[in-house]
Structure 1
Amino acid sequence: MTDICYPNRHNLLSVEQALLEIRKAIEAVTEQELIALPQALDRILADSVVSPMDIPPQRTAAMDGYAFAAGDTAAGQQAKLQVIGTSWAGKPFLELHVPGQCVRIFTGAVVPSFADSVIAQEQVEMNGDTVSLPLDWQPYKNIRAAGSDVKQHEELITAPKKLTARDLSLLAAAGVEKISVKRKLKIGFFSTGDELVPLGEPLAAGQIHDSNRYLLAGLLSDPNHTVSNLGIVVDDQFKLEQTFKSAAQQHDVIISTGGASVGDADFVKQTLEKCGQVNFWKLAIKPGKPLAFGKIGDCWFFGLPGNPVAVLVTYEKFVKPGLEQLAGAPATQALRLRVRCDSALKKSPGRQEYQRGILCQSANGELVVRLAGQQDSHQLKVASQSNCFIVLDADSIGIDAGETVTVEPFSAVL
């Protein structure tokens, strides 16, 4: 695919082709670690977990009421049963019974061995220690069988999986205290550019504060990552080469921002070629065309553009899937919705665009999107105000207000 904005440049790799190249190249880490359940949220399960027990381990009541044997009553007659005790959750009733007796029981309590039915407390009439059942009572109800949720030796969770709070609850219910997870990825990131100044230092003419490292630090915040902020590297090829070599010896992945284009001070691609290998460079995406992906020794490298919105887009579309694959997580796909767009969108054909939008839901549930503002790739305020990408195919020439577009929400909450 050729970018019509750069007709004399090399052909550009499509978003789909670039993702395929990343997935073909990267293999998941194999090392594991054993961790306690409280530390397991969002970690990548390395080995499938089998339940050591039935869940629930015994028959339990599904509601508050009275447990009894259906055979102690006569169908079509109003049965009266004597209450001889209580089965509490955690304190079961263990005494013997004779026909015509029942036990007060609470939700989750063990059903006495003699009982095969539980009737809700709202359905009976109480008179002293005697309960009267209604004529339409139904036997064999409201009892949870042992193993009705999970059977002993049944697979609880299949690896690989990024563990949720729901998963941790299931594992705890089965008495699982420790699990094997994939080890954390070691990731180093830095910014390049003579114009960049750290926070707390005054800006001279032509200088800007380095915002990309704060963006990346937030994007990389994940329990499966150990992240190192490597600072700012000036536009000097020798210093960049030293940084590449040193960081590659200590990390699984290096991510840089800036210096990936074709200017006289853009050294990332040629330095990557010198230190390692370039798998691809230049993509048919906007923002974010100059992206270098390759490897230095055993360390993967992503060289992202310098404009912060381009960093956001290329991280989400390429770096994040690559890190998920390296960490051993199942492949994910961004949620896409087709919604009405209240803004006219301008676009030139040639590159797939990710414009920043604001997705809203009306009182009747209808989803509508509009542009968050100007779409220049340096405009961080617009990115901050947006809550979705509006995705326009490479061949699109823009749309009129009122047409339907594809959006990728940043979150499930609007």
Structure 2
Amino acid sequence: MGKFMNFARREEIYEKYINLFKPEKNFEIPVDSAMGYVSFEKIFVRENLPGFDKSTVDGYALIAEDTSGASREFPKTFKITGKVEMGKGYENVVRSKEAVWVPTGGVIPSGANAVVMVEDTMVEGEFLKVFKQLHPWENVIKKDSGMRKGEVLVNRGERITFGKIDALLANGITKIMVYKKPSVGIISTGSEVVEPDAQKSFFEVRDGNTYTLKAYLKHLGYEVERVAHVKDEYEKFLRIVKEALEKYDVVVTSGGSSVGKKDFTREVFSEVGEVYFHGAWIKPGKPTVFAKVGEKALIGLPGKPVSFMVSAYLFLLPLLKRLEGDTMWKPKVCAYVVSEDSLKAAHGRETFIPVKIFDNFENKILYAKPFPDESGLVKPLLNADGIIRIPLEKEKVEKGEVCEFYMF
């Protein structure tokens, strides 16, 4: 079996490989369990909210114009004529120079158009001294200013956040159709790799890659298992990949993705499916393999720790987001940061460098401290918040230059 690499740019991999996969599975879930899922349906606001003028403070509802000129030295006097109970309306109308007690979230009585905070008042018997001039609708959420019936509440392909959960429940929506998150099987490869708890020899390497990826994906809510570790044995590797494809939507391998004598990833992927690309024009992460078996995905990640994690972030994560229906699945720039060092780019490749982010409170600028560009070491990832990008056409980044930052 001959070995060769079929390189592609990152955007080409997104468009011609990841874009092939379609989210298909969906199910109904309670809204209060939907955090982090992607909505399968477009949901509209069912009713105008809030349905009444609502106070944002504890205080007294009154007519704002009656407070004109009020101050500590020259307070305005109002007659206290009633009290609003939480969850109840108020039958009477507030007239000039009258005030009604209203709690935070309580209904604003008819006739009133502002609420004075209790801290700006003093009660003297049945009268209220007001020490502050108010403008109309101060400390009031106006009726139906939050949501209006028929507005889009959640779009299809939009991820459910805590704010959307709150809004859905406020509309009386307790169940929602969401996309199923894809299942992921991870396979470790390499005769030099041993388990993390193993008594290793001088030349062996403990497997941090696959267990770290498992932990990361579980944190993001995916169903994921570290399936097995395979030494450099072609037939066993092939068998385990086939078994994993029967169980998982996405199968990920670590190591063996280059073109060495015992790098079997491409051959195994070719035997079970179609290899679309072998190699990405990025550094680190160049020897990543991208294959498809029916509707299932196979991704062979490099074995070096930084290459492994950068490739997982740039390609595996977008694939999983695509499969769970997320319309915003491509990596997005999180911030623009200033590099603390001069950095060289890899010739002909997009370059991604692990960095630690910190800010300077005096000039309100985010800075990036790059870590050594050694993809074979674990240490660059130890304190990294994410990666900065040097575009394909650039040869270097000067100290003090602004870069794109992607957060892990």
How does the TM-score come out when normalised to structure 2?
0.86
CA drift of 1:189 comes to 0.8
Is 1:64 matched up with 2:64?
Answer: no
- The 3 A distance-change label for structure 1 pair 139 and 14 is closer
- Which secondary structure state, in structure 1, belongs to the residue aligned with residue 240 of structure 2? helix
Is 1:390 matched up with 2:388?
Answer: yes
Please give the per-residue CA displacement for 1:168-197, whole angstroms capped at 9, x wherever unaligned. Answer: 222232232221111121111111111111
* Counterpart position of 1:177: 174
1:92-107 correspondence runs (5 A): 92-94=89-91, 102-107=99-104
Distance 2:133 2:280 in 1: 71
Please tell me the residue identity of whatever aligns with 2:371.
A
CA drift of 1:328 comes to 0.4
* Counterpart position of 1:15: 10
* Counterpart position of 2:206: 209
Distance 1:360 1:263 in 2: 40
CA drift of 1:294 comes to 1.0
- Which secondary structure state, in structure 2, belongs to the residue aligned with residue 220 of structure 1? helix
- Which secondary structure state, in structure 2, belongs to the residue aligned with residue 361 of structure 1? strand
Is 1:111 matched up with 2:108?
Answer: yes
Please tell me the residue identity of whatever aligns with 2:16.
E
- The 3 A distance-change label for structure 1 pair 377 and 106 is same
Please tell me the residue identity of whatever aligns with 2:278.
W
CA RMSD of aligned residues (A): 3.1
> Does structure 2 conserve the Cα–Cα contact (< 8 Å) formed by 1:336 and 1:406?
no
Aligned length: 399
* Counterpart position of 1:86: 83
Is 1:308 matched up with 2:305?
Answer: yes
Please give the per-residue CA displacement for 1:180-231, whole angstroms capped at 9, x wherever unaligned. Answer: 1111211111111111111222113532211111221133125552112102
Distance 2:115 2:312 in 1: 57
Indicate which of 353, 358, 361 corresponds to 1:360. 358
Indicate which of 234, 239, 246 corresponds to 1:249. 246
* Counterpart position of 1:42: 36
Deviates more, 1:159-168 or 1:77-86: 77-86
* Counterpart position of 1:54: 48
* Counterpart position of 1:25: 20
> Does structure 1 conserve the Cα–Cα contact (< 8 Å) formed by 2:275 and 2:291?
yes
How does the TM-score come out when normalised to structure 1?
0.85
Please give the per-residue CA displacement for 1:50-109, whole angstroms capped at 9, x wherever unaligned. Answer: 2233211323223333335799x8999998654232113334445688987542112211
Please tell me the residue identity of whatever aligns with 1:370.
K
- Which secondary structure state, in structure 1, belongs to the residue aligned with residue 247 of structure 2? coil
- The 3 A distance-change label for structure 1 pair 68 and 340 is closer
Which runs of 5 or more residues in structure 1 are unaligned?
A: 1-8
